[in-house]
Amino acid sequence: MVGKTIDTEGLLASRSELARARKELGTLYAALDNVQSGLLILDGDLRAVYSNPALHRMFKSYSPAEIRERRPLYEELLRAAYSASAVELEDYVARRLAWVRSENAAATDLSMTNGTVLRCNLAPLPDGGRMLIYSDITDIVRHAQELQRMATTDGMTGIYNRRHFLTLAEREWERASRYQHPLSFLIFDIDYFKSINDAYGHEAGDEVITHLANVAAACKRGSDVLARIGGEEFALLLPETTLDEAQIVAERLRRDVAEHAAVVAAREMPTTVSVGVASRSPEMSGIAQLMSAADKALYEAKRGGRNRVVCFEASGKRVTAANPKDLVA
């Protein structure tokens, strides 16, 4: 009987290589454990084979030990981490699986329920597996949002500034012109504002401006665009609004300002506004002409005694609310 020859040296070499590979893998995982980004490594079947502590500080659904022992499918992790209705959950899981299977997937941002924002990058691995890298970009997103807010809003009042208003107004003009829908514009400012600054100081003037912005914001609809476009000058764009309807809005605004005095240093400071109103007409070539028409009406309101609404019509005839109380909101 001829026995089989055991390659002792080869067996020992294989065991030595396996031990070395395990040691190297252990060293790699120990290093990855200290990475600040969350890491999830999936094999070719999309089963989780490694996750670092940072990942579990971001997602609480599984522990590191459960990942090592159970090797759950990535789909299981998704279902455990995402709380939604059945339809939303299936849609979310399908989109995430398609994303993780992609070879050139772009980074995706995840908004968490605690307010943090995670950016997930995907790195394909040679064996068909995937490494997912989660980075907390909450501070970056908030900084970008703050820059956006500063670029588009007026620092004193918190409403839109002139530049952003003009951008939005151009869009509304194009939409109204394309579909032949009504579009109206109000321009208004504080009567005798210089006298307020002269008598009470610029800080009081700033308080009055802020008060007017708040009153105007309470008057507008969600689709309307309110902005501070000058020192004490404001604009209100009214989509889907005819001249008659805009006149009613303008009168409501004028009345609310007159009836609700600004309070500065515990002192009531009554203020009024004059309002110019205009609506889009076929003869107008752009938003600048609409604003110019309303500005002419505002001039007439000032010249006519202030604390009043004047509407501009394309024919050149100006409709004046000489007795604003006659208008019913």
> Which domains occur in the chain, in start order?
23-141 (3.30.450.20), 153-326 (3.30.70.270)
Q: Report pLDDT for 206.
A: 95
Alpha carbon 269 to its chain centroid, in Å, reads 35
Q: Report pLDDT for 54.
A: 87
Q: Report pLDDT for 252.
A: 96
Q: Which residue has the tokens 């005798």?
A: 192
The H or E element spanning position 234 is: strand 233-239
**304: Cα within 13 Å, side-chain hemisphere:** 22
pTM, two decimals, is 0.68
Q: Report pLDDT for 328.
A: 38
* Number of neighbours of residue 245 by Cβ within 10 angstroms: 14
Enumerate residues 6+ apart whose C-beta is below 8 A from 311.
243, 246, 247, 250, 276, 277, 278, 297, 318, 319, 320, 321
Burial of 83 per CB tally in 10 Å (0-12, 13-18, 19+): exposed
The H or E element spanning position 119 is: strand 117-124
Alpha carbon 78 to its chain centroid, in Å, reads 26
Q: What angle do CA 203, 207, 208 make, to 5 degrees?
A: 115
Rounded to whole angstroms, the Cα distance separating 137 from 143 reads: 10
Q: Report pLDDT for 323.
A: 47
Q: Report pLDDT for 315.
A: 63
Residues, the chain: 329
Instruction: Give average pLDDT by consecutive 10-residue segment, the chain, 329 residues.
Output: 58 63 63 79 92 84 80 90 82 92 88 88 91 91 88 95 96 96 97 92 94 96 96 97 96 96 90 97 94 96 95 70 45
Q: Report pLDDT for 104.
A: 81
Query: For the CA atoms of 43, 126, 96, 69, what is the dihedral angle to 10 degrees?
Result: 20
